[in-house]
Amino acid sequence: MKSGELVRCFGSTTLGPRGQVVIPVSARKDLGLESGDTLLVFSSFHGHGVMLLKADAIESMLSKASERISNMEKQVKDYLPPPKSKKN
């Protein structure tokens, strides 16, 4: 995919009688998909579509998101004033 592209249409495919689809060769090449890769299947577009994501890509995305959240948490703590002590 081109840099900055969020969505790209690679063509169309047909759902076979056994529930299988063929991913277009251009998509497999551009996305680095190889035989044996584990793909996670998600519902998208309010139940009107299907999204396939490489399992190892999900792990990487979650790790990056966790890092960013940790960094944001540190920044928020540095920005906020210290909590007031409770008087008994």
Q: Nearest CA to 32 among 59, 54, 48, 7?
A: 54
Residue range 41-78, pLDDT digits in tens: 999 888 889 989 998 888 888 888 999 999 999 888 88
* Confidence at residue 88, expressed as pLDDT on a 0 to 100 scale: 62
- State the DSSP code for 85: P
Euclidean distance between CA atoms 15 and 10, whole angstroms: 16
Against a cut of 0.85, is the pTM above it? Answer: no
What's residue 20's pLDDT?
Answer: 93
Q: Helical H runs in the chain?
A: 25-31, 55-79
What one-character DSSP code corresponds to residue 80?
S
| Half-sphere CA count of 21, side-chain side, radius 13 A | 14
Ordered by start, the domain boundaries in the chain are 38-79
